[in-house]
Chain A
Amino acid sequence: MPEYVNVTIDGAKIRANKGTSVIDVALEYGICIPNLCHMKDLNPIGACRLCIVELVEGGRSKVTTSCTLEAKEGMVIFSHSPKIVETRKLIAEMLVAEAPNSRAIQDVAVRCGVTKVRFPFRNKNCVMCGRCVRACTEIWRSQSLGFVGRGKKRHVALPFHERPDFCKRCWYCVDICPMLITPCDGPMEPGNEYLCNKCESQLTMALESPDTCIQCRLGKGFGCPRGVTQE
C-alpha cells in the first residue's frame, strides 16, 4: 500500500506519495517550477537554486529548494510568491549571462521572466549543474567525472584530465548536458552574445512568468506534462 501525504502548493491541495520531493509533486500536478540541476532519479544537490520555494512553517517563511525538500504532511508551499519570482529571475539572469550559448539556459531564463541581461556576458561552456557528475556516479557507478577546485575555479573534470579505464563510454553525460543545445540561431561568437527571446514568442500568455511550459525542448526538461512537445 502506498502511503500518502497532503501538501498545499500555491493554494492547491495535493495528495502526494510519501517520500517524494516537493518539486516532483508540483511537476506531476502541473505546477511548473523552473529547474536545471534536478533530475528525477538522481540525489538532489540544490545547486542551481532555480527551484526555490517558500515553505511556511509556524507563521514563518523559509526559502529552500523544492528538489531537496521532502513532501511532508500539512506542508504549505508557495512556488511563485513575489519574493521567489524576483530572486529566481535574478538567478536566471546570472545563469544566462554566464552561458548564453545554450538554448536550455536561454529558455529557463525566459521562463523565469528575464527579458534583459544587465551583466556582461561571459560565454562559458559549463554552468556546474552537476548533472553529468551525479549521473556518472549514481546511475552508472563509474565516477569518471568529478568536481575539481573551489569557488570560481570549480570545474568538472576527468581524473587527472585523462579518460579513465572505468569510464563506460555511455555518453550519458553528454545526453543530459544542458549546454549542448545551441540557440535557434546557432552558436554565438564570444562578444556578440544576446538574449534571443525566441522562446517568448511561443508563450501562450503574456504573463511574466507563465504557468505553462514553453513549447520547445526545454519544456520537456522541466518534466511538466502540461508543456506540449513540438518535434
Chain B
Amino acid sequence: MEKINIPDTLKSFAQRKKSELEQYETVITVPSGTCCQAAGSLPVLLSLQKAVEKKKLQSKVRIRVSGCQGFCEQEPMVVIEPGGIFYGRVKPEDVKEIVEETVINKNIIDRLLYADPVSGKKVAKEEEIPFYKLQDRTILGENKFIDPCDIGEYIARGGYSAFVKVITTLSPDEVIAEVKTSGIRGRGGAGFPTWKKWEECRNAPGEIKYVICNADEGDPGAYMDRSVLEGNPHAILEGMLIGAFAVGATQGYIYVRNEYPLAVKNSRIATDQARELGLLGKNILGTGFDFDIHISRGGGAFVCGESSALMESVAGKVGEPKPKDVHATERGLFNLPTTLNNVETWANVPLIIKQGGAWFSSKGTEKSTGTKIFALTGKIKNTGLVEVPMGTTLRRIIYDIGGGPQGGAQIKAVQTGGPSGGCLPTLKFELPVDFEALSAAGSMVGSGGMVVMDDHSCMVDVAKYFLTFLQDESCGKCVPCRIGVDRMLEIITDISEGHGTMEQLDLLEEVSEAVAVGSLCGLGKTAPNPVLSTLRYFRHEYEEHIKNKRCSAGVCRELIHYSIDKEKCNGCGLCLKACPHGAVTGKKKKIHVINNELCNKCGICKEQCKFDAVILS
C-alpha cells in the first residue's frame, strides 16, 4: 500500500476501493469473532470457501470474515447480501446447500431460517429479526460491513473521513465543543463527561501528553469492548486520532487484555495497516500532525481495568491503583497528562464528528445521551450484544429484545454492571437504563454487562459469587478492600452454609458501607454493590437462609438435600449410573436410595431421572 500524503487522496482511495468491492454480485458474511469461533464458525467458513471454489464462483462471490454481530444465540451464522438473508446455527454440512440454493438459484432455505421464539414465525431477512429490529445499532451495526483485517473496507465505508474533517477544518477547541454538544459520557462505567476529561487534559501544562484506550474488560458476562475492538478496530484508531488531536497528544496506547488474542491480533493488524497508509506515525496525511499507537497487552488482573492501575501496568510496573488526589488528566501515565477512555467511547467519537454532536444527543435521555452496548446473558432466550439508546427500560431489553425467560421459568432479577453493579428485581424493570437511574437504584450501568437470573438462582449465592471474584481480584493494597471484602465473604459463606446469625447480617451491612466509603480505588468502592443491592431487594432470602436454614432456589449446597420419591421411582438405574460419587444405591427394579453422606449435591441424578422421582428439598 502506498502512503497517503494529502487528505484528498483518501477520498479517491475510498472511491477506488468501493468500486473494487462492488464488482462482486454476492457477499457472504461469516461473523468470526471469538464467540463465533467458539460456536464453530471456522469450519463453516472453511467449507464455504471450498464450496465457492468448487463452483468456480470466486469472481462473483466474496466471503467477508467480519467481527461478532451480537446475536450470539444464533452463532455460527451466515448473512448473504444482497437481500440480507440470515441463516442461524449453520453447520458445515449446510454450506453446500446454501451455495447451491441461495447463492446460485436465489432460493431461501426455509429450514435454516431463524424462527422467532415468541411467535414461532420464520424470518428471512436480518433486519426483520425482532432482536435486531428493536435495537439502534450505530456502532455494532458497522461490524457487519467490515472485515477488521482490511483497512480498505473501513475507508470505503467512509472511515477516517471524520479524522480528515477534524484535521483539515476544525481546531482542537472546536472538536471538544462538538463532543460537549454530544453530551457523551464515559462508557467504561463511571459516566464522566468525555469533553471535560479532554478539556482538562488539553489545558494541563506539559508538552507530552498521552491518550489511552481501555480495553481491559474483565467483568464476568461482559464482552462488548472485545467485539468492537475485534470487529471494527479502525473506528477506535480513528477516535483516538481525533482525541489525540483535540488534547494535543502524540502517543497513544491500546491496553487490551491478553485473554483476548483475536482482539490483540486485529488491533495490531489495524495499527500496522494504518501506519502503512500514513494514517499513523509522523506527519499524518501530510498535515504535520504526529501520532502513533502502541498495543499494550494486559497482565491478566481485573484491577488493571481501573485507570490508575492500568497506567502503572502500561508503564511496566505492578498494576496497582494509586490515590487519585491528582487527576490522570494532570498526572497520569509516566506522570504526564493522560486521557483514558473506554473502547466504546472512542468508537463513538468518529460518529459524533461525522454526524454532529446534536445527532448524538438526540438519542438517549437528557443527561445520558447516545446509545450503549449491553452484553445480555443469563437465563433468557436471546443472548448477545444489544445496542439501545440510553434510557431504554430494562423490561424492553430483557423481554422484548432478550425474548424473556427460558423454558417457562420466572425472571427474578437482573445483575447490571458486572461485579461493581447490583441486582435489580423485576419490580425495577420499568427503570430507564441511564447513569443516574441505575445508581439511584443501587446498581450501575458499569461497562454494560447484564446477567439475567431466574427463580433457579439464589441471591445469596450470587452475592457470594461476586465477592469471591472480587476477593480474588483485589490487589490487596488497601485495608478495606483486602480485609473488608474477605470478611464480607466470610459472613456470606456462613449464611449460605446455614450458620449465619441476624447480627452478622447487620455487620455485613456495616462492613459493606465502610468498604464503599473507605477503599482506595473504584474496585473497592463498588465492591459491596452486589451485597448491598441484594440486601436491599432480596433481604428475605438472606433471612430465609439464616432463620429457616433453607435455600428455596435449591442452590446453596449445605442447605439442600436430595432424596428419591418411593412412589415415583421404578428402579431404572439411570441415577445410579450417573452419580459420580456413588451415593445412589439400589437394585434393578427396586426403589433406589440416596446416601446423604456421600452425596455431593451436584444434581445430576435429578437431571437424569425421567420420572421426576428425585426430590430436592
Contacts and interface: CB of A to CB of B under 8 A. Distances in A.
Interface of A: 44-50, 52, 63-65, 68-70, 83, 86-88, 90-91, 94-95, 97-98, 118-120, 127-128, 147, 149-154
Closest 8 CB pairs of A and B: A154-B476, A68-B323, A90-B514, A46-B323, A151-B474, A151-B476, A94-B483, A87-B517
Interface in B463-485: 471-480, 482-484
A68 B325 contact: yes
A98 B487 CA distance: 10
Given A47-B478, A150-B475, A152-B472, 15 more contacts: A49-B519, A49-B520, A50-B479, A52-B518, A63-B517, A90-B510, A91-B518, A94-B479, A94-B480, A95-B483, A97-B487, A128-B482, A147-B476, A151-B472, A152-B476
Interface residue SS majority, chain B: helix
Nearest to B486: A152
A150 B300 CA distance: 12
Interface in B514-568: 514, 517-520
Contacts of B514: 86-87, 90-91
A49 B510 CA distance: 16
A95 B325 CA distance: 24
B609 interface: no
What bracket does the count of chain B residues touching chain A fall in? 20 to 34
B475 A151 contact: yes
Given A68-B325, A119-B487, A87 B479 contact: no
Interface of B: 301, 303, 318, 323, 325, 471-480, 482-484, 486-487, 490, 503, 507, 510-511, 513-514, 517-520
Nearest to B474: A151
Given A86-B514, A90-B514, A152-B482, A46 B520 contact: yes
A49 B476 contact: no
Contacts of A83: 517
Contacts of B318: 147
B482 A154 contact: yes
Contacts of B471: 151-152
Contacts of B477: 45, 47, 128, 154
Given A65-B323, A83-B517, A150 B301 contact: yes
Contacts of A86: 514
A208 to B, nearest CB: 16
Contacts of B480: 49, 91, 94
A152 B480 CA distance: 12
Residue among B471, B503, B514 facing the most chain A CB atoms (10 A cut-off): B514
A177 B571 CA distance: 67
Contacts, number: 95
A44 B471 CA distance: 24
22 contacts: A46-B323, A46-B478, A47-B479, A48-B478, A48-B479, A63-B518, A68-B323, A69-B325, A87-B513, A87-B518, A90-B510, A90-B514, A91-B480, A91-B484, A94-B479, A94-B487, A119-B487, A150-B473, A151-B471, A151-B482, A152-B472, A153-B476
A150 B479 contact: no
A46 B478 CA distance: 7
A95 B479 CA distance: 8
Contacts of B325: 64, 68-70
A79 to B, nearest CB: 14
A200 to B, nearest CB: 21
Contacts of A150: 301, 303, 473-476
A150 to B, nearest CB: 6
Residue among B323, B325, B475, B511 facing the most chain A CB atoms (10 A cut-off): B325
B489 to A, nearest CB: 10
Contacts of B483: 94-95, 98
A86 B323 CA distance: 21
Contacts of B484: 91, 94
B426 to A, nearest CB: 33
A46 B475 CA distance: 13
Contacts of A120: 490
A38 to B, nearest CB: 12
B482 A90 contact: no
Nearest to A65: B323
Contacts of A128: 476-477, 479, 482
Residue among A64, A68, A87, A153 facing the most chain B CB atoms (10 A cut-off): A87
A198 to B, nearest CB: 23
A128 B480 CA distance: 12
Nearest to A153: B476
Contacts of A91: 479-480, 484, 514, 518
Contacts of A48: 478-479
Contacts of A94: 479-480, 483-484, 487, 511
Nearest to A45: B477
Given A151-B471, A154-B476, A154-B482, A47 B520 contact: yes
A96 to B, nearest CB: 11
A47 B472 CA distance: 18
Nearest to B477: A47
A49 B479 contact: yes
Contact of B323 (A44, A119, A153): A44
Nearest to A124: B483
B509 to A, nearest CB: 11
A63 B515 CA distance: 12
A25 B541 CA distance: 48
A63 B513 CA distance: 13
Contacts of B520: 46-47, 49, 65
Nearest to B323: A68
Nearest to A86: B514
A64 B323 CA distance: 8
A90 B478 contact: no
Contacts of B476: 128, 147, 149-154
A25 B298 CA distance: 39
B455 to A, nearest CB: 33
A82 to B, nearest CB: 12
A152 B481 CA distance: 10
Contacts of B487: 94, 97, 119
Contacts of A87: 513-514, 517-518
A152 B470 CA distance: 11
A122 to B, nearest CB: 9
A167 B513 CA distance: 42
A133 to B, nearest CB: 11
A119 B483 CA distance: 11
Nearest to B516: A87
A118 B490 CA distance: 12
A89 to B, nearest CB: 8
Contacts of B323: 44-46, 64-65, 68
Contacts of B486: 152
Contacts of A149: 476
